[in-house]
Structure 1
């Protein structure tokens, strides 16, 4: 009987997946009813028989069918009566049909079975009338053989048809053979089955498993110990002994170099001055010094302190080091001779710069003056531009001697130094808001705000409903409507008054001039007519003014309050009042209007664009957001950073496309990585034999982190500098297929995300500190005795995933046309990462889900309700938020392409106005007056 119940439950679940029980309306069909595998017909075919079902108490036809199955399942042949639930089933063996024997054995009825549960499945026509003596052929499901092959595939649980193998019919029921007719499972699947069975036996599955949680905070830089620990790869380990020998040859008193800062500075000065004379030996010695004299270090702390001290001394001699680096890098890029030697020298130069830059990033606050001078040297030497163009050259002429992995990591670290990390970004943003006089309240989940676009939509709705109500705001720009301008598509307020849904709603029933004193009563719903449900909509058409203003004289306190408030605020005589709730909502939105710096920049450039296309005077338009023209007499740090960003954007504009292409290739190279767990290794394979492969995977993952980190830093700082710089770079990312590449990488790591995040997969244990300790026994002993570092969390993976998701959010944010490019399975993909709790990983995912949800159907929303709930739990909402329901979806989709075109037109206009020389490198140029003259074109055509 248990198997029958299981079959019925599975039948119920199969049907429930295809349709909702609430919407299931039973209709009689003039054909033979469907039958189940044991020839039991449905309940509706029994309505004319002796079985009775109380339709008043049991209206659902699906449950009636299931109830009939349970009551009539044991009717094997018409000769045997229906067996009561309290009787034994021993007489089932007397059935003569061998096929019935096989089917009974398959159902588990091959023995003495007594039903224990006395509770009926559904409502009955009596307390114990489940058995009936006068059953008919129709009740037992006896049909012709021709019709027996028809079955409903949605209502069975097994093979279609009644043709069972002959060997099942010849089974001796008395032997009780236990034969498994299921397909054989592979070894891994069988292990998972056994594990699940063990959980069911032990009762662990009944307990709610707690959600996994990672206590980790996102940062762009995790300090020297983490950044330098993974800098070396397996091919670089053999260079360490040569570094030690070169230092011993050049420096006689090694102990004095460590103890005396003046002596160390003199050695470093001599080495940097002689770089042009003896490049190889001097670079080797400087590389050893930059790594902290690891042979003379007695512990990791000693080496880290020496790294900080030595590189701080080298700050003053940075220019010579940069020149040596450029010379070696150019040789590796252009020359064809001595490539092996030059490649080694390039590694030493990269190592010196990488260590020096990370020391400067870590000590930026405590050693502000020295680091500021260092940043200015990098700016004067234009190393950022050189590295970007170096990567661009690698796209067209890739060579192993160029060491592109080290160059990418070096570019990422240098961007952090020149622009700043997350902490520097927050301070700079706060200072810029103060500099431009923009007041913003501190963000909190208790204080909600409204964006200018939503405020304008609310303003349009209130004006449409109450034309006499003044809701103007001086902070918003003046609205200029011109259907012939692309600027109209830049920001489109989605007001309900202009929604396409109003076209389906009727006009108001009363004329505007003769309003009724109160709205009419709601119409009475007509009951179902012949079982057909009529759908009616009683929504208000927001395109028409409010027909029923309040003009009655009331003496209650609320009316007096409304009357006094409206008279004082709007100067009316009290004859016609606007509802107090509308007035209160308008005041709340005005106080909480949030205008960002990026919005101010966009409005300013849009005014400049509209003035140009209309031929207006443009001198009155402010240019305060063009930081390249500011003198910065007060030497403000935030203005200096903005100037550096502007210079880098101008010089590297033509190289951005190639930079994005190369970094996306680095991302795609990680799709072939193979992850291993220690228990999954074949017999005879140890971790030592896998070391080379693990080192390769480690190097590729570090390059992946640096690549997406470059995207994130550039987008973050470009947006703060000017919104249209950000839009230019994000458009290049979108056109380069970042969405598809990003989705592929996320899908790759989603399969092993939890295990890899908790370091349960195999990972190379080699670090710079382990390798350096091998040259000093004391260092090696102290490293072994030192408390092992907590390696419960894979910081590299979490940082990489966060970078990827944040860049994806920035590329697709507030752009419907790009949201359509997301894969259909992006919600399922996000659920894999949502299974491990961490807010820094959650935020970019939930913000994408917030924008994607309105364009999905109800089934998608029900399947991703955990992500939708996460938006309400962890994201900061707005005062006006209609992202789940209420959006004008058709209008959004209709204007999506036009908005993308208008945005790109404005970006092109911005680049032409401010960076014309940079565009000329790509072949663009402005038309002169002669070229745009129609007569000139005609004369040129006539000459031809």
Structure 2
């Protein structure tokens, strides 16, 4: 359904589009398929339906949302359409495409490796090996299958293929960005320094400022990027100031899904995180943890070595697919909700943070991540369609130990990249959540993840390290200059961001709690106005002033009032003298 073929007729294209639309519409009990699957996951996690095949439910949920809302490639196209509609210029960069042209760097050497000298370089391999320790690589094979940016529902593991050589870019891979807030702060500081005045809401007056400042302002204006999120926040502020003015709500697939998820979204996030915790290899199972292996473990445990190995491989594969589905689902929802409206994204993000998503992801990476992405928990001769189309091969313990010839498990690589992207989305521009990364000591954990020589994974690891550098201290920066250089070469630059120092005046620890409370207040106001009160602020909801309709309105009396009605009648009516003439005059 998601793959476009050159020979598709217009009728086939129309049927695919119709199917994707109907998939997001209410069906059973006035609920879309995605909400039914979300409720199945919640029931599975609270123990009321432990017999559900949770892996299949998760995969079906993820692919249902992929079909109904679209992949990340379609999201990028929709984003440019929405930017044009909002009067903003298109943004041509696609993160996945840019990362494919970035060269993976050699991971920083550990202390013992540095003292012992360089290790001998491995022989060059014909296929791209993301785990090669060679310090100098002139050729990097980047293919669609090797860069797991967007998953393919039909093939959870993509095999590396031979591709043409791509020359390494000498320029920085990203276009620099500047926020209007950054330009305002720059002008405020320079005006205070050279003129001694404050000018509000003025980004053009440069009177009294030296020529280098003029040139700096010109460069900043050339790189200003106004995001859709900023436009949406300003629109919400206008609606708050003028409650009677309502903005139009476009009925998109993401809007319909969010409206359906809203009443139980916190429970959905908690349930998915519970499953992720149960499937994470670095987490030890507890007695009260969820049993995600109910549909994998046989009634009788295996008695032979071969059967035991097959079961162990199947259990690990089962967990890996669950992690893949949950990470892909989280990333897809976060990106589509952020595009649809920033406060939908913030609502989901806050509930993920409240449910300890940040420490869970850090704990997930607190393992030998290089070994995790190199595991081969699959038996090729038993995989479909190999087991059907090929001749049956005899399995033995030796063939299972040998495994296949893949350089890595692209399923696990995909999961790791997704989790890093989720962590980036939760912490970006949030000082309180950045401090959580520092409190849970994520810097050394993330630095170990750089041992995986995969460009996209390294980019998102370096982004997370960049957020923390100004808080880690001068000695850490001096001891990790290779990591700092990698950040400079691979991560997008904010022209006024002093990430490599520590002069950020916004990062005040006493503002952290207030930051989350202020965000929660904006999100609650958005949800109450847009979904709870049918688009109206309750204080400004229209009032019925028609006498006939008011007298004809049925009022439900409480049981307490009915039991004490006679006492109220005696006290308030019969026992009270009323001057009716005086009442009528007033």
Q: Quickly name the TM-score band, shorter chain normalised.
A: 0.5 to 0.7
The within-5 A match list for 1:381-780 is 381=27, 382-440=32-90, 442-443=92-93, 445=173, 447-467=175-195, 578-609=209-240, 611=241, 617-619=242-244, 623-624=247-248, 626-628=249-251, 643-671=252-280, 688-747=307-366, 750-751=367-368, 753-759=369-375, 763-765=378-380, 766-773=382-389
Unaligned residue ranges in structure 2 (runs of 5+): 94-171, 285-302, 394-402, 542-567, 569-586
Tell me if structure 1 keeps the 8 A contact 2:180–2:226.
Answer: yes
Tell me if structure 2 keeps the 8 A contact 1:653–1:918.
Answer: no
Tell me if structure 1 keeps the 8 A contact 2:183–2:203.
Answer: no
1:376 aligns to 2:21 (yes or no): yes
Quote the Cα distance in structure 2 between the aligned partners of 1:816 and 1:469.
29
Q: Residues 867, 687 of structure 1: CA spacing in aligned structure 2 closer, same or farther, 3 A cutoff?
A: farther
Quote the Cα distance in structure 1 between the aligned partners of 2:508 and 2:228.
25
Compute the displacement of 1:401 (Å).
3.0
The within-5 A match list for 1:276-425 is 360-363=1-4, 368-380=13-25, 381=27, 382-425=32-75
Quote the Cα distance in structure 2 between the aligned partners of 1:423 and 1:618.
37
The within-5 A match list for 1:796-815 is 796-815=411-430
Quote the Cα distance in structure 2 between the aligned partners of 1:832 and 1:602.
38
Compute the displacement of 1:768 (Å).
1.8
Partner of 1:833: 449
Quote the Cα distance in structure 1 between the aligned partners of 2:533 and 2:496.
44
Q: Residues 448, 818 of structure 1: CA spacing in aligned structure 2 closer, same or farther, 3 A cutoff?
A: closer
Per-residue displacement from partner, 1:150-187 (whole Å, max 9, x unpaired)?
Answer: xxxxxxxxxxxxxxxxxxxxxxxxxxxxxxxxxxxxxx
Per-residue displacement from partner, 1:121-170 (whole Å, max 9, x unpaired)?
Answer: xxxxxxxxxxxxxxxxxxxxxxxxxxxxxxxxxxxxxxxxxxxxxxxxxx
Compute the displacement of 1:834 (Å).
0.3
Tell me if structure 2 keeps the 8 A contact 1:418–1:644.
Answer: yes
Tell me if structure 2 keeps the 8 A contact 1:606–1:906.
Answer: no
Q: Residues 847, 672 of structure 1: CA spacing in aligned structure 2 closer, same or farther, 3 A cutoff?
A: closer
Secondary structure, counterpart of 1:655 in structure 2: helix
The within-5 A match list for 1:801-880 is 801-822=416-437, 823-880=439-496
Per-residue displacement from partner, 1:302-337 (whole Å, max 9, x unpaired)?
Answer: xxxxxxxxxxxxxxxxxxxxxxxxxxxxxxxxxxxx
Q: Residues 596, 464 of structure 1: CA spacing in aligned structure 2 closer, same or farther, 3 A cutoff?
A: same
Per-residue displacement from partner, 1:445-472 (whole Å, max 9, x unpaired)?
Answer: 4743311221121121123134488987
Q: Residues 661, 881 of structure 1: CA spacing in aligned structure 2 closer, same or farther, 3 A cutoff?
A: same
Tell me if structure 2 keeps the 8 A contact 1:395–1:658.
Answer: no
Secondary structure, counterpart of 1:402 in structure 2: coil
1:888 aligns to 2:543 (yes or no): no
Tell me if structure 2 keeps the 8 A contact 1:724–1:910.
Answer: yes
Quote the Cα distance in structure 1 between the aligned partners of 2:178 and 2:254.
30
Q: Taking structure 2 as the reference length, what is the TM-score of the superposition? A: 0.66
Quote the Cα distance in structure 2 between the aligned partners of 1:771 and 1:907.
51
Quote the Cα distance in structure 2 between the aligned partners of 1:900 and 1:436.
28
The within-5 A match list for 1:263-282 is none
Secondary structure, counterpart of 1:730 in structure 2: helix
Secondary structure, counterpart of 2:500 in structure 1: coil
Compute the displacement of 1:892 (Å).
2.6
Q: Taking structure 1 as the reference length, what is the TM-score of the superposition? A: 0.42
Secondary structure, counterpart of 1:888 in structure 2: coil
Compute the displacement of 1:845 (Å).
1.6
Per-residue displacement from partner, 1:673-729 (whole Å, max 9, x unpaired)?
Answer: 799xxxxxxxx9955531112101111110111011111110010000001100000
Quote the Cα distance in structure 1 between the aligned partners of 2:514 and 2:89.
32
Relative contact order (alpha carbons < 8 A, sep ≥ 6): 1 or 2 greater? 2
Tell me if structure 2 keeps the 8 A contact 1:449–1:878.
Answer: yes
Tell me if structure 1 keeps the 8 A contact 2:175–2:492.
Answer: no
Compute the displacement of 1:649 (Å).
0.6
Secondary structure, counterpart of 2:217 in structure 1: helix
Secondary structure, counterpart of 1:652 in structure 2: helix
Compute the displacement of 1:442 (Å).
4.1
Tell me if structure 2 keeps the 8 A contact 1:364–1:371.
Answer: no
Tell me if structure 1 keeps the 8 A contact 2:44–2:51.
Answer: no
Quote the Cα distance in structure 2 between the aligned partners of 1:445 and 1:371.
36
Quote the Cα distance in structure 2 between the aligned partners of 1:456 and 1:406.
51
Tell me if structure 1 keeps the 8 A contact 2:280–2:319.
Answer: no
Compute the displacement of 1:654 (Å).
1.8
Q: Residues 595, 740 of structure 1: CA spacing in aligned structure 2 closer, same or farther, 3 A cutoff?
A: same
Q: Which has the larger radius of gyration?
A: 1
Quote the Cα distance in structure 2 between the aligned partners of 1:453 and 1:703.
41
Tell me if structure 1 keeps the 8 A contact 2:324–2:411.
Answer: yes
Tell me if structure 2 keeps the 8 A contact 1:670–1:745.
Answer: no
Quote the Cα distance in structure 1 between the aligned partners of 2:355 and 2:184.
35
Quote the Cα distance in structure 2 between the aligned partners of 1:584 and 1:697.
58
